[in-house]
Amino acid sequence: MQSLLLDFLKVTESAAVAALPWVGSGDKIAADGAATNAMRETLNKMKMHSKIVIGEGEIDEAPMLYIGEELGKGGSHEVDIAVDPIEGTTPTVNGQGNAITVIAAAEKGALLHAPDMYMKKMAVGPKAKGHIDLDAPIEENIKNVAKALGKEVTELNVLIQDRPRHEEYIERIRETGAKVRLFHDGDVIYAIATCIESLGVDMFLGIGGAPEGVLGAVAARCMGGEMQAKLLPRNEEEIARCIEMGINNFESVLTQDDLVRTDDCLFAATGITDNIIIDGIETNDGNYHTSSILVNGREKQVRYVKSVYPVKAIV
């Protein structure tokens, strides 16, 4: 996978640049379509056999990158891909922060084929790895994470999305004395934040999309952190979907190894607009200036990448 790092970086950079004209436009379909088309075109130039295992829908929902779609020019690499052409479509078209393009990849068969439904997720960075249990009360997890980090509970910062479904979690976290930091959109970037010590984010918790959970889990594994998750099917149709995708014991906690089963994986994200980890695209002197984060599971090394693209090279 290491040999494909820069190729996958170009995938997210091209998608971010393609989405830029739609920032503030209010047109979600056009923005997502532009990013998707750029990703597909770039992926199809890569020397690999790849399949989308986490995408935006089924084959009849094309032109989105659909589950089961095969991409690449062929070669010796067999790769499973999880993708979100725009993580944060709403902030993109509203001209707000926290919009990124995201891709994760691993050797064939290594990524959970997560159905598009709700998932409960908890993530921590490297120092707290091995000290969380999604089945345990949140109070116990907070105590254990604080101990692992050498902090008082009152010093702990927990990131959670500002949604009505999280009101009980927010109240219980605050009752322990820990601090809650709320965010509005884009939970992949905040799961990653737990693995960057300088950001002061100690834990991520919440209920959100399962596809985003797998993307976050790959990033966490690449950066030495940990994510645990549990699928939350809401009806018989979603239960059947789990079984169809090979997940029979959907009530069990999914460990880091269930979500991504190898260190031979990578994660790349490029900012469309500013967020707590990477900057959005800037344009000056006829160039696009992109900021990205690039990590792989073998090295556990985080790369922050600045790239410059002449406008004429894109349009």
Q: Is 164 annotated as a binding residue?
A: yes
Integer Cα distance of 263 and 186 in angstroms = 24
Q: Is 304 annotated as a binding residue?
A: no
Q: Is 236 annotated as a binding residue?
A: no
Q: Is 133 annotated as a binding residue?
A: no
Q: Is 97 annotated as a binding residue?
A: no
User: Phi first, then psi: what are they for 267, rounded to 5°?
Assistant: -140, 135
Q: Is 7 annotated as a binding residue?
A: no
Q: Is 116 annotated as a binding residue?
A: no
Asked if residue 298 lies in contact with residue 265, where contact means CB atoms within 8 angstroms, the answer is no
Q: Is 155 annotated as a binding residue?
A: no
Burial class (CB in 10 A: 0-12, 13-18, 19+), 263: middle
Strand order in the sheet with 203-209: 179-183, 157-161, 203-209, 118-124, 226-231
Q: Is 299 annotated as a binding residue?
A: no
Q: Is 221 annotated as a binding residue?
A: no
Q: Is 285 annotated as a binding residue?
A: no
Asked if residue 227 lies in contact with residue 187, where contact means CB atoms within 8 angstroms, the answer is no
User: Phi first, then psi: what are they for 268, rounded to 5°?
Assistant: -140, 140
Amino acid 54 reads: I
Q: Closest by alpha carbon to 12, among 51, 30, 41, 39? A: 39
Q: Which residues are annotated as a binding site?
A: 32, 56, 84, 87-89, 118, 163-165, 185-187, 209, 212
Annotated binding site for Mn(2+): 32, 56, 84, 87, 212
Binding residues for substrate: 87-89, 118, 163-165, 185-187, 209
